Amino acid sequence: MRSTRATAAVARLNQRSEGRHYVLVMTGDSQFVLRERLAGGDKDIAAALPLDDFVKLVNATGPQVVPRVTKNDAAFAKQLVRKS
């Protein structure tokens, strides 16, 4: 099913966004619309987009997760830098 990537992206967005709820709407021509569920009804966040553009939009929306960097990861990254 094509919408699995889009559904997973919206699920990740809902996990990142405390107190907000986003939903996915698929149009008849296989385009995707992101909507925010509000008390008065749903509000469109963006126009209908193809799958790849929709996933990029959803991944860029809302708070971003800061990647966890361990001491070992930092030491490894430091070793990768070339010395001049």
- Measured CA to CA, the distance from residue 68 to residue 62 in angstroms comes to 19
List b or e across 5-14, with b for residues whose CB sees 16 or more CB atoms inside 10 angstroms: ebeebbeebe
Which tens digits make up the pLDDT trace of 47-74? 999 999 999 999 999 888 888 999 999 9
Instruction: Please tell me the total count of domains within the chain.
Output: 1
Range of the domain at 28: 4-80
* Sheet with strand 22-26: strands edge to edge: 22-26, 32-38, 41-44
What is the pLDDT, as a whole number, of residue 15? 92
